[in-house]
């Protein structure tokens, strides 16, 4: 079945009515014409089109022509529809974002934890080597244009992301604390068109050895959002970082297999 052709055929009002009538039981062409208040030749044309796309079967029984739905074909169409209705990770992320946006908060305090399969030194390098960070430091459907970070207090931190439509978003800050390969604290605040921070975001990453890997705890605090645009950006902080940590987890899992 060509799903697009089938949907287009069923979507026409008269043919949609025919399909709903046939869903109850098979009908003769004459019966359908009577229900529709249409001439039999017109009804026949509609049935022929529905038959051509695989939705309807027309069977001759002597002098009668009986139309029935092809239930197997409709089951195929229903399966395609169920695929459209299934949630994707992006739908779930958007739902989380919408929930956060409804709160309209001007501050955020988010704590995320992951158990990673890589040892602490590998995770540390993924956070503190700019080339490594650029491999995962972006939510889904964004690419990293520029990334800078180093395990040194006062080192500049920069992240420029590009969306699919070409729009770019920049965040900057500095490293505030470095703790012996186990703790990293830095500011990474979104920048407005005038080059000034829209609000402040502080990221604390703590690594602890775990059986066969590392427990990573990320604590995000943000403050200073003061209008609709910035509070909407603030609402995206948690969903965005959850997606970034997903990418980090997958990246490290692939390297340790």
Q: What domains sit in the chain, N to C, each tagged with a CATH number?
A: 3-85 (1.10.10.10), 89-256 (3.30.530.20)
DSSP code at position 153: T
- Is the pLDDT assigned to residue 159 strictly greater than 80? yes
pLDDT at 73: 93
Contact at 8 Å (CB) between 150 and 132?
no
Measure the CA dihedral 109/239/114/224, to 10°. -20
User: What are the helix (H) ranges across the chain?
Assistant: 3-11, 13-24, 29-36, 40-52, 71-85, 89-103, 120-128, 130-133, 228-235, 237-256
- Is the pLDDT assigned to residue 100 strictly greater than 90? no
Q: How far, in Å, CA of 171 to CA of 237, rounded?
A: 12
In 3D space, the residue among 205, 203, 142 whose CA is nearest the CA of residue 174 turns out to be 203
Pick the range with the lowest mean pLDDT from 45-59, 199-213, 223-237. Answer: 223-237
pLDDT at 104: 60
Per-residue pLDDT reduced to its tens digit, 201-225: 999 999 999 988 999 999 999 988 7
* Burial class for 182, CB neighbours closer than 10 Å (0-12, 13-18, 19+): middle
Find tokens 């899992």 and name the residue: 253
Question: Taken in order 36, 40, 46, 50, is the CA torsion positive or negative?
Answer: positive
- Is the pLDDT assigned to residue 131 strictly greater than 70? yes
CB pairs under 8 A, 24+ apart, for 45-48?
46/12, 46/14, 46/15, 46/18, 47/18
In sequence order, the β-bridge partners of residue 215 are 115, 208
pLDDT at 238: 87
Q: How far, in Å, CA of 214 to CA of 207, rounded?
A: 6
User: Which residues are CB-contacts of 27 (< 8 A; sequence separation ≥ 6)?
Assistant: 21, 35, 66, 67
Per-residue pLDDT reduced to its tens digit, 18-34: 999 999 999 999 999 99
In 3D space, the residue among 210, 201, 154, 152 whose CA is nearest the CA of residue 181 turns out to be 152
* Burial class for 159, CB neighbours closer than 10 Å (0-12, 13-18, 19+): buried
User: Which residues are CB-contacts of 198 (< 8 A; sequence separation ≥ 6)?
Assistant: 189, 190, 191, 192, 224, 225, 229, 230, 233
In 3D space, the residue among 127, 92, 130 whose CA is nearest the CA of residue 252 turns out to be 127
Measure the CA angle with vertex 171, ends 166 and 176; round to 5°: 160
Model-wide pTM > 0.85: no
User: Which residues are CB-contacts of 12 (< 8 A; sequence separation ≥ 6)?
Assistant: 46
């Amino acid at each position: 079945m060509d799903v697009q052709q089938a949907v287009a055929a069923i979507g026409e009002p008269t043919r949609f009515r025919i399909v709903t009538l046939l869903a109850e039981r098979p009908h003769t062409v004459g019966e359908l014409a009577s229900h529709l208040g249409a001439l039999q030749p017109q009804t026949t044309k509609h049935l022929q089109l529905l038959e051509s796309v695989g939705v309807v079967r027309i069977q001759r029984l002597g002098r009668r022509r009986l139309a029935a739905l092809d239930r197997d074909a409709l089951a195929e169409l229903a399966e395609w529809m169920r695929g459209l209705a299934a949630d994707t990770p992006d739908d779930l992320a958007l739902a989380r974002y919408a929930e956060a946006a409804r709160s309209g908060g001007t501050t955020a305090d988010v704590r995320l934890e992951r158990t990673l399969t890589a040892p602490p030194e590998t995770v540390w390098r993924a956070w503190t080597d700019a080339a490594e960070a650029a491999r995962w430091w972006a939510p889904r459907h964004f690419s990293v244009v520029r990334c800078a970070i180093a395990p040194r207090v006062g080192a500049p931190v920069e992240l420029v992301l590009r969306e699919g439509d070409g729009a770019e978003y920049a965040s900057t800050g500095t490293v505030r604390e470095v703790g012996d390969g186990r703790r990293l604290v830095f500011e990474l605040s979104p920048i407005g068109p005038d080059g000034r921070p829209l609000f402040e975001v502080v990221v604390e990453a703590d690594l602890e050895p775990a059986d066969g890997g590392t427990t990573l705890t990320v604590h995000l605090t943000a403050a200073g959002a003061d209008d609709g645009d910035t509070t909407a950006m603030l609402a995206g902080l948690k969903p965005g970082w959850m997606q970034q940590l997903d990418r980090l987890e997958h990246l490290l899992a692939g390297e340790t297999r």
